[in-house]
């Protein structure tokens, strides 16, 4: 979370009120406009992250459970040769 000075927060609220948009929208629009005017490449926006559901976590566990186990005997033989 970004902490803004009282003056900046007040300005953002005034601009948002004048445009009849949320403060978030007003700030985002202003930043996008500034970036565009200064030729700052914003790149592709990243998709919103979300938490995995319990079902998704269990599915990952099921996938891992069926994977073959590493044969430690072979590792010991390799280490013995080194």
pLDDT digits (tens, 9 = 90+) for 15-24: 999 999 999 9
pLDDT score of 81? 67
Gap between the Cα atoms of 56 and 52, Å rounded: 6
Kind and range of the H or E run holding 41: none
pLDDT reading at 79 higher than 80: no
Tell me which DSSP letter residue 47 carries.
P
pLDDT class of 76 with cuts at 50, 70, 90: low
pLDDT class of 62 with cuts at 50, 70, 90: very high
Burial label, 29 (beta-carbon count in 10 A; 0-12, 13-18, 19+): middle
Residues with Cβ within 8 Å of 27's Cβ and at least 6 positions away in sequence, in order, are 12, 16
Rounded mean pLDDT, 62-68? 90
């Amino acid at each position: 979370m970004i902490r803004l000075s009282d003056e900046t927060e007040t300005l953002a609220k005034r601009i948002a009120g004048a445009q009849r948009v949320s403060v978030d929208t007003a700030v985002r629009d202003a930043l996008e406009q500034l970036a565009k005017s200064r030729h700052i490449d914003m790149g592709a926006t990243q998709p919103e992250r979300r938490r995995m559901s319990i079902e998704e976590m269990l599915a990952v566990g099921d996938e891992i459970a069926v994977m073959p186990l590493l044969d430690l005997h072979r590792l010991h033989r390799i280490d013995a040769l080194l």
